Structure 1
Amino acid sequence: MKLGLVGQHIQKTQSNRLHTWLGQQYGLDVSYELFDMVLDDTPALAALLHRLGEQGYRGVNVTHPYKVKAWDIVTERRNTPAGLGALNTVVFEAGGIVGTNTDCSGFGRAYRAAQPGQNPGRVFLKGTGGVGRAIAFGLAALDAEHLYLYDEQAASQAQLLADLQACGARASLVAKADVEDCIRGCDGLVNATPVGHYSTPGLAFAAELLGGQRWAFDAVYTPIMTEFLQQAERAGLSLITGFELFLHQGIDAFEFFTGIKVDPEVARRGVSNV
Protein backbone atom coordinates (compact mmCIF):
# COMPACT_ATOMS: atom_id res chain seq x y z
CA MET A 1 0.00 0.00 0.00
CA LYS A 2 1.49 3.31 -1.11
CA LEU A 3 0.96 6.25 1.26
CA GLY A 4 2.63 9.63 1.72
CA LEU A 5 2.73 13.11 3.22
CA VAL A 6 2.45 16.41 1.32
CA GLY A 7 3.73 19.58 3.00
CA GLN A 8 6.68 21.86 3.64
CA HIS A 9 9.58 21.36 6.09
CA ILE A 10 8.51 17.78 6.83
CA GLN A 11 11.84 15.97 6.80
CA LYS A 12 11.79 15.40 10.58
CA THR A 13 8.28 13.94 10.61
CA GLN A 14 7.65 10.53 12.14
CA SER A 15 4.59 9.90 9.96
CA ASN A 16 6.51 7.57 7.68
CA ARG A 17 7.78 5.60 10.66
CA LEU A 18 4.30 5.38 12.23
CA HIS A 19 2.47 4.19 9.13
CA THR A 20 5.08 1.65 8.04
CA TRP A 21 5.19 0.32 11.62
CA LEU A 22 1.41 -0.04 11.73
CA GLY A 23 1.50 -1.78 8.35
CA GLN A 24 3.95 -4.33 9.76
CA GLN A 25 1.82 -4.91 12.85
CA TYR A 26 -1.38 -5.42 10.88
CA GLY A 27 0.00 -7.47 7.99
CA LEU A 28 0.24 -4.82 5.28
CA ASP A 29 3.18 -3.94 3.06
CA VAL A 30 3.14 -0.15 3.49
CA SER A 31 5.44 2.41 1.89
CA TYR A 32 5.25 6.08 2.90
CA GLU A 33 6.89 8.83 0.84
CA LEU A 34 7.50 12.46 1.80
CA PHE A 35 6.53 15.13 -0.72
CA ASP A 36 8.27 18.19 0.73
CA MET A 37 7.54 20.88 -1.83
CA VAL A 38 6.31 24.37 -2.54
CA LEU A 39 2.99 24.42 -4.41
CA ASP A 40 1.91 27.88 -5.50
CA ASP A 41 -1.87 27.50 -5.38
CA THR A 42 -4.84 25.17 -5.01
CA PRO A 43 -4.74 23.94 -8.65
CA ALA A 44 -1.09 22.90 -8.12
CA LEU A 45 -2.06 20.85 -5.06
CA ALA A 46 -5.01 19.34 -6.95
CA ALA A 47 -2.76 18.35 -9.84
CA LEU A 48 -0.32 16.65 -7.45
CA LEU A 49 -3.08 14.73 -5.65
CA HIS A 50 -4.65 13.55 -8.92
CA ARG A 51 -1.22 12.45 -10.15
CA LEU A 52 -0.56 10.46 -6.98
CA GLY A 53 -3.93 8.75 -7.35
CA GLU A 54 -3.05 7.80 -10.91
CA GLN A 55 0.29 6.43 -9.69
CA GLY A 56 -1.43 3.94 -7.41
CA TYR A 57 -1.24 5.66 -4.05
CA ARG A 58 -3.99 4.64 -1.65
CA GLY A 59 -3.88 8.03 0.07
CA VAL A 60 -1.78 10.78 1.58
CA ASN A 61 -1.68 13.00 4.62
CA VAL A 62 -1.68 16.75 3.95
CA THR A 63 0.05 19.16 6.31
CA HIS A 64 1.08 22.83 6.58
CA PRO A 65 0.48 24.90 4.50
CA TYR A 66 -1.95 22.90 2.35
CA LYS A 67 -4.76 21.80 4.68
CA VAL A 68 -7.18 24.60 3.81
CA LYS A 69 -6.50 24.21 0.08
CA ALA A 70 -7.34 20.50 0.30
CA TRP A 71 -10.89 21.30 1.47
CA ASP A 72 -12.01 22.46 -1.96
CA ILE A 73 -10.23 19.73 -3.92
CA VAL A 74 -11.93 16.60 -2.63
CA THR A 75 -15.12 15.19 -4.11
CA GLU A 76 -16.40 13.92 -0.74
CA ARG A 77 -15.75 14.62 2.94
CA ARG A 78 -16.33 12.07 5.69
CA ASN A 79 -16.41 12.25 9.50
CA THR A 80 -15.64 15.97 9.44
CA PRO A 81 -17.74 18.94 10.66
CA ALA A 82 -19.32 20.76 7.74
CA GLY A 83 -17.78 24.14 8.53
CA LEU A 84 -14.27 23.00 9.43
CA GLY A 85 -12.72 24.11 6.14
CA ALA A 86 -9.48 22.11 6.28
CA LEU A 87 -8.48 18.51 5.60
CA ASN A 88 -5.34 16.58 6.47
CA THR A 89 -6.03 13.09 5.08
CA VAL A 90 -7.24 11.99 1.65
CA VAL A 91 -7.81 8.63 -0.02
CA PHE A 92 -8.07 7.96 -3.72
CA GLU A 93 -11.15 6.03 -4.75
CA ALA A 94 -12.71 5.19 -8.10
CA GLY A 95 -15.22 8.01 -7.72
CA GLY A 96 -12.65 10.67 -6.82
CA ILE A 97 -10.75 11.97 -3.81
CA VAL A 98 -12.28 11.48 -0.35
CA GLY A 99 -11.03 13.57 2.56
CA THR A 100 -11.27 13.78 6.34
CA ASN A 101 -9.66 15.72 9.17
CA THR A 102 -7.98 13.52 11.74
CA ASP A 103 -6.40 16.56 13.46
CA CYS A 104 -9.88 17.32 14.77
CA SER A 105 -10.66 13.83 16.01
CA GLY A 106 -7.07 13.24 17.11
CA PHE A 107 -7.03 16.37 19.26
CA GLY A 108 -10.23 15.25 20.98
CA ARG A 109 -8.65 11.90 21.84
CA ALA A 110 -5.44 13.54 23.04
CA TYR A 111 -7.29 16.04 25.25
CA ARG A 112 -9.53 13.41 26.85
CA ALA A 113 -6.52 11.22 27.63
CA ALA A 114 -4.63 14.12 29.25
CA GLN A 115 -7.57 15.82 31.02
CA PRO A 116 -10.05 13.02 31.76
CA GLY A 117 -13.49 14.30 32.74
CA GLN A 118 -12.47 17.96 32.62
CA ASN A 119 -14.06 20.58 30.39
CA PRO A 120 -11.48 22.60 28.44
CA GLY A 121 -12.98 25.78 29.94
CA ARG A 122 -12.02 29.13 28.45
CA VAL A 123 -9.39 28.62 25.78
CA PHE A 124 -7.11 31.09 24.01
CA LEU A 125 -6.29 29.75 20.54
CA LYS A 126 -3.43 31.36 18.66
CA GLY A 127 -3.44 30.55 14.95
CA THR A 128 -6.55 30.05 12.84
CA GLY A 129 -5.09 28.27 9.81
CA GLY A 130 -5.54 24.60 8.98
CA VAL A 131 -4.53 22.99 12.26
CA GLY A 132 -6.05 25.85 14.28
CA ARG A 133 -9.41 25.29 12.61
CA ALA A 134 -9.28 21.57 13.38
CA ILE A 135 -8.41 22.16 17.04
CA ALA A 136 -11.11 24.81 17.37
CA PHE A 137 -13.76 22.41 16.12
CA GLY A 138 -12.28 19.71 18.35
CA LEU A 139 -12.64 22.02 21.35
CA ALA A 140 -16.20 22.85 20.35
CA ALA A 141 -16.97 19.11 20.25
CA LEU A 142 -15.52 18.88 23.78
CA ASP A 143 -18.01 21.61 24.79
CA ALA A 144 -15.39 24.20 25.71
CA GLU A 145 -16.86 27.07 27.71
CA HIS A 146 -15.56 29.73 25.30
CA LEU A 147 -12.96 29.98 22.53
CA TYR A 148 -10.93 33.18 22.15
CA LEU A 149 -9.41 33.38 18.67
CA TYR A 150 -6.32 35.33 17.70
CA ASP A 151 -4.43 35.47 14.42
CA GLU A 152 -2.52 38.24 12.69
CA GLN A 153 -4.47 37.36 9.54
CA ALA A 154 -7.77 39.15 10.16
CA ALA A 155 -9.65 37.39 7.38
CA SER A 156 -8.61 33.96 8.66
CA GLN A 157 -9.77 34.54 12.23
CA ALA A 158 -13.03 36.20 11.11
CA GLN A 159 -13.86 33.24 8.88
CA LEU A 160 -13.17 30.72 11.64
CA LEU A 161 -15.36 32.71 14.05
CA ALA A 162 -18.23 32.72 11.57
CA ASP A 163 -17.89 28.99 10.92
CA LEU A 164 -17.76 28.13 14.63
CA GLN A 165 -20.76 30.30 15.47
CA ALA A 166 -22.71 28.72 12.61
CA CYS A 167 -22.17 25.39 14.35
CA GLY A 168 -23.33 26.77 17.71
CA ALA A 169 -19.90 27.09 19.33
CA ARG A 170 -19.20 29.87 21.83
CA ALA A 171 -16.35 31.93 20.43
CA SER A 172 -15.10 35.48 19.91
CA LEU A 173 -12.16 37.35 18.40
CA VAL A 174 -9.47 38.98 20.50
CA ALA A 175 -8.08 42.38 19.54
CA LYS A 176 -4.30 42.73 19.70
CA ALA A 177 -4.55 45.23 22.54
CA ASP A 178 -6.52 42.72 24.64
CA VAL A 179 -4.37 39.64 24.03
CA GLU A 180 -2.36 39.71 27.25
CA ASP A 181 -5.36 40.16 29.55
CA CYS A 182 -7.27 37.45 27.71
CA ILE A 183 -4.40 34.98 27.98
CA ARG A 184 -4.11 35.57 31.71
CA GLY A 185 -7.82 34.91 32.19
CA CYS A 186 -8.04 31.63 30.29
CA ASP A 187 -7.97 28.02 31.47
CA GLY A 188 -6.20 26.64 28.40
CA LEU A 189 -3.67 27.96 25.91
CA VAL A 190 -3.24 26.56 22.39
CA ASN A 191 -0.45 27.30 19.94
CA ALA A 192 -1.65 26.43 16.46
CA THR A 193 1.02 28.46 14.67
CA PRO A 194 4.35 27.16 13.32
CA VAL A 195 6.24 29.18 15.96
CA GLY A 196 8.43 26.78 17.91
CA HIS A 197 8.94 24.39 14.99
CA TYR A 198 12.59 23.57 14.26
CA SER A 199 12.34 25.60 11.04
CA THR A 200 10.61 28.57 12.74
CA PRO A 201 11.97 28.70 16.31
CA GLY A 202 10.56 31.04 18.89
CA LEU A 203 8.21 31.38 21.85
CA ALA A 204 4.50 31.33 20.98
CA PHE A 205 3.44 32.90 24.32
CA ALA A 206 5.55 35.25 26.42
CA ALA A 207 6.75 33.52 29.58
CA GLU A 208 5.46 36.30 31.83
CA LEU A 209 1.88 35.57 30.68
CA LEU A 210 1.99 31.96 31.84
CA GLY A 211 0.74 30.90 35.25
CA GLY A 212 -2.81 30.63 36.52
CA GLN A 213 -3.98 28.71 33.47
CA ARG A 214 -4.71 24.98 33.85
CA TRP A 215 -3.39 23.41 30.65
CA ALA A 216 -1.35 24.13 27.52
CA PHE A 217 -1.18 22.50 24.10
CA ASP A 218 1.30 23.04 21.29
CA ALA A 219 0.52 21.63 17.84
CA VAL A 220 4.24 21.66 17.01
CA TYR A 221 5.93 18.31 17.69
CA THR A 222 9.36 18.78 16.12
CA PRO A 223 10.69 19.42 18.73
CA ILE A 224 8.19 17.95 21.17
CA MET A 225 9.14 20.16 24.11
CA THR A 226 8.93 23.54 22.41
CA GLU A 227 10.01 26.70 24.20
CA PHE A 228 6.33 27.40 24.91
CA LEU A 229 5.76 24.03 26.57
CA GLN A 230 8.98 24.32 28.57
CA GLN A 231 7.84 27.68 29.94
CA ALA A 232 4.30 26.37 30.54
CA GLU A 233 5.70 23.44 32.53
CA ARG A 234 7.78 25.79 34.66
CA ALA A 235 4.61 27.81 35.32
CA GLY A 236 2.80 24.70 36.57
CA LEU A 237 0.47 24.05 33.63
CA SER A 238 -0.54 20.56 32.58
CA LEU A 239 0.90 19.81 29.14
CA ILE A 240 -0.52 18.21 26.02
CA THR A 241 2.28 17.85 23.52
CA GLY A 242 2.05 17.96 19.79
CA PHE A 243 3.30 14.38 19.82
CA GLU A 244 -0.01 13.27 21.34
CA LEU A 245 -1.90 14.99 18.52
CA PHE A 246 0.50 13.46 16.00
CA LEU A 247 -0.03 9.98 17.45
CA HIS A 248 -3.82 10.08 17.64
CA GLN A 249 -4.36 11.81 14.30
CA GLY A 250 -2.00 9.24 12.77
CA ILE A 251 -4.02 6.38 14.21
CA ASP A 252 -7.21 7.88 12.81
CA ALA A 253 -5.53 8.41 9.43
CA PHE A 254 -4.28 4.81 9.25
CA GLU A 255 -7.78 3.60 10.06
CA PHE A 256 -9.14 5.86 7.31
CA PHE A 257 -6.59 4.52 4.82
CA THR A 258 -7.10 0.85 5.69
CA GLY A 259 -10.35 0.26 7.59
CA ILE A 260 -8.31 -1.50 10.32
CA LYS A 261 -8.97 -0.63 13.97
CA VAL A 262 -5.69 0.30 15.65
CA ASP A 263 -4.68 -0.33 19.26
CA PRO A 264 -3.16 2.99 20.47
CA GLU A 265 -0.54 1.17 22.54
CA VAL A 266 0.61 -0.74 19.46
CA ALA A 267 0.94 2.57 17.61
CA ARG A 268 2.84 4.21 20.48
CA ARG A 269 5.49 1.46 20.49
CA GLY A 270 6.37 2.30 16.89
CA VAL A 271 7.34 5.94 17.33
CA SER A 272 9.43 8.03 19.68
CA ASN A 273 8.19 10.82 21.91
CA VAL A 274 11.63 12.12 22.80
Structure 2
Amino acid sequence: MKLGLVGQRIQQSLSPRLHTWLGRQYGLEVTYELFDLVLDNAEDLAAQLHRLGEQGYRGLNITYPYKVKAWDLVHERRQTPGPMGALNTLVFESGTLTGSNTDCTGFSRAYRDAQPGLNPGRVFIKGTGGVGRAIAFGLSALEAEHIYLYDEHAASQQQLLADLQACGARASVVAADQVVDCARGCDGLVNATPVGHYTTPGASFSAAELGGQRWAFDAVYTPVMTEFLQGAEGAGLTLITGFELFLYQGIEAFESFTGIRVDPAVARRGLHDN
Protein backbone atom coordinates (compact mmCIF):
# COMPACT_ATOMS: atom_id res chain seq x y z
CA MET A 1 0.00 0.00 0.00
CA LYS A 2 1.45 3.32 -1.11
CA LEU A 3 0.90 6.27 1.24
CA GLY A 4 2.46 9.72 1.50
CA LEU A 5 2.53 13.22 2.95
CA VAL A 6 2.23 16.43 0.92
CA GLY A 7 3.40 19.67 2.51
CA GLN A 8 6.35 21.94 3.19
CA ARG A 9 9.18 21.63 5.75
CA ILE A 10 8.23 18.02 6.49
CA GLN A 11 11.61 16.29 6.49
CA GLN A 12 11.44 15.57 10.24
CA SER A 13 7.88 14.22 10.08
CA LEU A 14 7.23 11.04 12.05
CA SER A 15 4.48 9.99 9.63
CA PRO A 16 6.62 7.49 7.67
CA ARG A 17 7.65 5.77 10.90
CA LEU A 18 4.09 5.64 12.23
CA HIS A 19 2.41 4.30 9.10
CA THR A 20 5.05 1.75 8.14
CA TRP A 21 5.10 0.50 11.77
CA LEU A 22 1.32 0.14 11.81
CA GLY A 23 1.46 -1.65 8.47
CA ARG A 24 3.84 -4.25 9.91
CA GLN A 25 1.75 -4.71 13.04
CA TYR A 26 -1.42 -5.29 11.05
CA GLY A 27 0.03 -7.44 8.28
CA LEU A 28 0.25 -4.89 5.47
CA GLU A 29 3.17 -3.93 3.25
CA VAL A 30 3.16 -0.13 3.53
CA THR A 31 5.43 2.46 1.96
CA TYR A 32 5.19 6.12 2.95
CA GLU A 33 6.83 8.92 0.96
CA LEU A 34 7.36 12.59 1.74
CA PHE A 35 6.47 15.15 -0.93
CA ASP A 36 8.03 18.41 0.27
CA LEU A 37 6.73 20.75 -2.42
CA VAL A 38 6.20 24.43 -3.12
CA LEU A 39 2.90 24.59 -4.99
CA ASP A 40 1.70 28.05 -5.96
CA ASN A 41 -2.05 27.49 -6.06
CA ALA A 42 -4.91 25.01 -5.78
CA GLU A 43 -4.54 24.03 -9.43
CA ASP A 44 -0.95 22.93 -8.85
CA LEU A 45 -2.03 20.93 -5.80
CA ALA A 46 -4.83 19.30 -7.78
CA ALA A 47 -2.37 18.31 -10.51
CA GLN A 48 -0.01 16.80 -7.92
CA LEU A 49 -2.82 14.82 -6.32
CA HIS A 50 -3.92 13.56 -9.73
CA ARG A 51 -0.38 12.36 -10.52
CA LEU A 52 -0.11 10.51 -7.23
CA GLY A 53 -3.48 8.88 -7.77
CA GLU A 54 -2.35 7.68 -11.17
CA GLN A 55 0.82 6.29 -9.57
CA GLY A 56 -1.24 4.01 -7.39
CA TYR A 57 -1.25 5.83 -4.07
CA ARG A 58 -3.98 4.65 -1.73
CA GLY A 59 -3.94 7.63 0.59
CA LEU A 60 -2.23 10.90 1.43
CA ASN A 61 -1.86 13.11 4.44
CA ILE A 62 -1.94 16.84 3.71
CA THR A 63 -0.18 19.34 5.93
CA TYR A 64 0.88 23.00 6.02
CA PRO A 65 0.21 25.00 3.86
CA TYR A 66 -2.20 22.93 1.73
CA LYS A 67 -5.01 21.85 4.07
CA VAL A 68 -7.37 24.68 3.14
CA LYS A 69 -6.65 24.30 -0.58
CA ALA A 70 -7.49 20.58 -0.38
CA TRP A 71 -11.04 21.32 0.80
CA ASP A 72 -12.38 22.02 -2.70
CA LEU A 73 -10.39 19.30 -4.49
CA VAL A 74 -12.19 16.18 -3.28
CA HIS A 75 -15.31 14.44 -4.55
CA GLU A 76 -16.63 13.62 -1.09
CA ARG A 77 -15.98 14.76 2.50
CA ARG A 78 -16.43 12.63 5.58
CA GLN A 79 -16.32 13.41 9.30
CA THR A 80 -15.99 17.15 8.69
CA PRO A 81 -18.54 19.03 10.83
CA GLY A 82 -20.04 22.01 9.09
CA PRO A 83 -17.94 24.26 6.87
CA MET A 84 -14.62 23.19 8.41
CA GLY A 85 -12.81 24.32 5.27
CA ALA A 86 -9.67 22.19 5.65
CA LEU A 87 -8.68 18.56 5.05
CA ASN A 88 -5.63 16.59 6.11
CA THR A 89 -6.45 13.03 4.96
CA LEU A 90 -7.25 11.96 1.40
CA VAL A 91 -8.18 8.48 0.15
CA PHE A 92 -8.16 7.31 -3.47
CA GLU A 93 -10.77 4.67 -4.27
CA SER A 94 -12.27 3.66 -7.62
CA GLY A 95 -11.59 7.03 -9.21
CA THR A 96 -13.04 8.95 -6.27
CA LEU A 97 -11.03 11.19 -3.96
CA THR A 98 -12.46 11.32 -0.44
CA GLY A 99 -11.29 13.76 2.22
CA SER A 100 -11.55 13.97 6.01
CA ASN A 101 -9.99 15.94 8.82
CA THR A 102 -8.42 13.76 11.48
CA ASP A 103 -6.77 16.82 13.05
CA CYS A 104 -10.21 17.78 14.39
CA THR A 105 -11.05 14.44 15.96
CA GLY A 106 -7.41 13.83 16.90
CA PHE A 107 -7.31 17.06 18.89
CA SER A 108 -10.54 16.15 20.67
CA ARG A 109 -9.08 12.80 21.75
CA ALA A 110 -5.85 14.42 22.92
CA TYR A 111 -7.79 17.01 24.93
CA ARG A 112 -10.00 14.41 26.61
CA ASP A 113 -6.92 12.39 27.58
CA ALA A 114 -5.30 15.42 29.21
CA GLN A 115 -8.40 16.98 30.78
CA PRO A 116 -10.83 14.12 31.42
CA GLY A 117 -14.33 15.32 32.20
CA LEU A 118 -13.41 19.01 32.01
CA ASN A 119 -14.93 21.48 29.57
CA PRO A 120 -12.25 23.40 27.61
CA GLY A 121 -13.76 26.65 28.93
CA ARG A 122 -12.69 29.91 27.30
CA VAL A 123 -9.99 29.21 24.70
CA PHE A 124 -7.66 31.56 22.83
CA ILE A 125 -6.41 30.28 19.45
CA LYS A 126 -3.53 31.86 17.59
CA GLY A 127 -3.63 30.89 13.93
CA THR A 128 -6.75 30.36 11.82
CA GLY A 129 -5.30 28.39 8.91
CA GLY A 130 -5.79 24.68 8.28
CA VAL A 131 -4.90 23.26 11.68
CA GLY A 132 -6.44 26.24 13.50
CA ARG A 133 -9.74 25.60 11.76
CA ALA A 134 -9.65 21.91 12.71
CA ILE A 135 -8.90 22.68 16.37
CA ALA A 136 -11.59 25.36 16.51
CA PHE A 137 -14.21 22.91 15.26
CA GLY A 138 -12.85 20.31 17.67
CA LEU A 139 -13.33 22.78 20.52
CA SER A 140 -16.85 23.47 19.30
CA ALA A 141 -17.60 19.74 19.39
CA LEU A 142 -16.22 19.67 22.95
CA GLU A 143 -18.70 22.48 23.76
CA ALA A 144 -16.05 25.04 24.69
CA GLU A 145 -17.55 28.00 26.52
CA HIS A 146 -16.08 30.54 24.08
CA ILE A 147 -13.45 30.47 21.32
CA TYR A 148 -11.33 33.58 20.76
CA LEU A 149 -9.52 33.85 17.41
CA TYR A 150 -6.41 35.78 16.52
CA ASP A 151 -4.52 35.81 13.23
CA GLU A 152 -2.42 38.44 11.49
CA HIS A 153 -4.49 37.75 8.37
CA ALA A 154 -7.82 39.42 9.12
CA ALA A 155 -9.69 37.70 6.28
CA SER A 156 -8.73 34.28 7.60
CA GLN A 157 -9.94 34.94 11.13
CA GLN A 158 -13.15 36.55 9.95
CA GLN A 159 -13.96 33.59 7.71
CA LEU A 160 -13.37 31.10 10.52
CA LEU A 161 -15.50 33.23 12.85
CA ALA A 162 -18.38 33.18 10.36
CA ASP A 163 -18.08 29.42 9.84
CA LEU A 164 -18.03 28.69 13.57
CA GLN A 165 -20.98 30.93 14.27
CA ALA A 166 -22.91 29.27 11.44
CA CYS A 167 -22.55 26.01 13.38
CA GLY A 168 -23.72 27.58 16.62
CA ALA A 169 -20.31 27.93 18.29
CA ARG A 170 -19.67 30.85 20.62
CA ALA A 171 -16.71 32.68 19.10
CA SER A 172 -15.21 36.11 18.47
CA VAL A 173 -12.08 37.65 16.98
CA VAL A 174 -9.47 39.50 19.01
CA ALA A 175 -7.78 42.75 17.99
CA ALA A 176 -3.98 42.94 18.24
CA ASP A 177 -4.09 45.39 21.14
CA GLN A 178 -6.40 43.07 23.11
CA VAL A 179 -4.35 39.87 22.78
CA VAL A 180 -2.59 39.98 26.15
CA ASP A 181 -5.68 40.76 28.21
CA CYS A 182 -7.79 38.21 26.34
CA ALA A 183 -5.19 35.46 26.67
CA ARG A 184 -4.79 36.12 30.39
CA GLY A 185 -8.52 35.75 30.88
CA CYS A 186 -8.82 32.38 29.16
CA ASP A 187 -8.78 28.81 30.46
CA GLY A 188 -6.84 27.39 27.50
CA LEU A 189 -4.25 28.63 25.01
CA VAL A 190 -3.71 27.08 21.56
CA ASN A 191 -0.88 27.67 19.13
CA ALA A 192 -2.00 26.78 15.62
CA THR A 193 0.75 28.80 13.88
CA PRO A 194 4.13 27.49 12.65
CA VAL A 195 5.94 29.51 15.34
CA GLY A 196 7.98 27.12 17.45
CA HIS A 197 8.67 24.69 14.61
CA TYR A 198 12.37 23.88 14.19
CA THR A 199 12.39 25.94 10.98
CA THR A 200 10.56 28.92 12.55
CA PRO A 201 11.73 29.04 16.19
CA GLY A 202 10.23 31.35 18.75
CA ALA A 203 7.51 31.54 21.38
CA SER A 204 3.98 31.79 20.00
CA PHE A 205 2.75 33.16 23.36
CA SER A 206 4.85 35.65 25.28
CA ALA A 207 5.52 35.54 29.01
CA ALA A 208 3.09 38.46 29.40
CA GLU A 209 0.29 36.30 27.95
CA LEU A 210 0.91 33.33 30.24
CA GLY A 211 -0.53 32.91 33.72
CA GLY A 212 -3.93 32.07 35.14
CA GLN A 213 -4.88 29.57 32.44
CA ARG A 214 -5.55 25.88 33.06
CA TRP A 215 -4.15 24.20 29.95
CA ALA A 216 -2.04 24.82 26.83
CA PHE A 217 -1.78 23.08 23.49
CA ASP A 218 0.79 23.51 20.70
CA ALA A 219 0.11 21.96 17.29
CA VAL A 220 3.87 21.95 16.57
CA TYR A 221 5.56 18.67 17.47
CA THR A 222 9.06 19.13 16.03
CA PRO A 223 10.25 19.85 18.69
CA VAL A 224 7.70 18.46 21.12
CA MET A 225 8.59 20.90 23.90
CA THR A 226 8.34 24.21 22.08
CA GLU A 227 9.29 27.51 23.68
CA PHE A 228 5.59 28.17 24.23
CA LEU A 229 5.06 24.89 26.09
CA GLN A 230 8.18 25.42 28.16
CA GLY A 231 6.81 28.77 29.25
CA ALA A 232 3.36 27.29 29.88
CA GLU A 233 4.87 24.54 32.01
CA GLY A 234 6.70 27.16 34.05
CA ALA A 235 3.39 28.97 34.56
CA GLY A 236 1.81 25.80 35.93
CA LEU A 237 -0.46 24.91 32.99
CA THR A 238 -1.38 21.35 31.99
CA LEU A 239 0.34 20.65 28.67
CA ILE A 240 -1.10 18.95 25.60
CA THR A 241 1.72 18.47 23.12
CA GLY A 242 1.57 18.39 19.35
CA PHE A 243 2.83 14.82 19.57
CA GLU A 244 -0.54 13.75 21.00
CA LEU A 245 -2.38 15.40 18.11
CA PHE A 246 0.05 13.80 15.67
CA LEU A 247 -0.51 10.37 17.23
CA TYR A 248 -4.30 10.44 17.12
CA GLN A 249 -4.65 12.10 13.72
CA GLY A 250 -2.22 9.51 12.36
CA ILE A 251 -4.15 6.62 13.87
CA GLU A 252 -7.39 7.85 12.36
CA ALA A 253 -5.74 8.48 9.00
CA PHE A 254 -4.37 4.92 8.94
CA GLU A 255 -7.84 3.64 9.78
CA SER A 256 -9.23 5.64 6.85
CA PHE A 257 -6.59 4.25 4.50
CA THR A 258 -6.97 0.62 5.57
CA GLY A 259 -10.30 0.05 7.34
CA ILE A 260 -8.35 -1.47 10.26
CA ARG A 261 -9.11 -0.43 13.83
CA VAL A 262 -5.86 0.65 15.52
CA ASP A 263 -4.96 0.15 19.17
CA PRO A 264 -3.45 3.49 20.32
CA ALA A 265 -1.01 1.62 22.57
CA VAL A 266 0.40 -0.19 19.52
CA ALA A 267 0.84 3.09 17.64
CA ARG A 268 2.47 4.79 20.62
CA ARG A 269 4.90 1.89 21.11
CA GLY A 270 6.04 2.14 17.50
CA LEU A 271 6.91 5.81 17.87
CA HIS A 272 8.67 5.46 21.21
CA ASP A 273 10.55 2.21 20.57
CA ASN A 274 11.76 2.69 16.99
Report the TM range for the smaller structure's normalisation. over 0.9
2:168 corresponds to = 168
Shift of 1:41: 0.4
Bigger Cα displacement from structure 2, 200-209 vs 228-237: 200-209
Aligned-partner Cα distance in 1 for 2:26–2:236: 40
* Residues 1:229 and 2:229 aligned together: yes
Shift of 1:82: 2.6
1:130 corresponds to = 130
> Any stretches of 5+ residues in structure 2 without a counterpart?
none
Shift of 1:17: 0.2
Aligned-partner Cα distance in 1 for 2:228–2:187: 16
Shift of 1:44: 0.4
Shift of 1:96: 1.8
Shift of 1:222: 0.2
Shift of 1:35: 0.2
Aligned-partner Cα distance in 2 for 1:166–1:256: 28
1:237-269 deviation line (CA, Å, top 9, x unaligned): 000000000000000000000000000000000
Aligned-partner Cα distance in 1 for 2:183–2:240: 17
Contact 2:7–2:63, Cα closer than 8 Å, also in 1: yes
1:67-111 deviation line (CA, Å, top 9, x unaligned): 000001001001111310000000111142100000000000000
1:35 corresponds to = 35
Shift of 1:141: 0.2
1:20-169 equivalences under 5 Å are 20-169=20-169
Shift of 1:52: 0.5
Shift of 1:208: 2.6
Aligned-partner Cα distance in 1 for 2:219–2:272: 16
Question: SS at the partner of 2:73?
Answer: coil
Aligned-partner Cα distance in 2 for 1:235–1:114: 17
TM-score in terms of structure 2 length: 0.99
Question: SS at the partner of 1:270?
Answer: helix
Aligned-partner Cα distance in 2 for 1:272–1:144: 32
1:211-244 deviation line (CA, Å, top 9, x unaligned): 1100000000000000000000000000000000
Runs ≥4 in structure 1, deviation > 2 angstroms? none
> Any stretches of 5+ residues in structure 1 without a counterpart?
none
1:255 corresponds to = 255
Amino acid at match of 1:131: V
Contact 2:64–2:130, Cα closer than 8 Å, also in 1: yes
Aligned-partner Cα distance in 2 for 1:93–1:182: 45
Aligned-partner Cα distance in 2 for 1:171–1:208: 23
Bigger Cα displacement from structure 2, 243-252 vs 88-97: 88-97
Amino acid at match of 1:139: L
Contact 2:180–2:208, Cα closer than 8 Å, also in 1: no
Amino acid at match of 1:70: A
- What count of residue pairs does the alignment treat as equivalent? 274
Question: SS at the partner of 1:72?
Answer: helix
Aligned-partner Cα distance in 2 for 1:232–1:272: 24
Question: SS at the partner of 1:271?
Answer: helix
Amino acid at match of 1:53: G
1:181-192 equivalences under 5 Å are 181-192=181-192
Identity %, equivalent residues: 77
Question: SS at the partner of 2:144?
Answer: coil
CA RMSD for the aligned pairs? 1.1
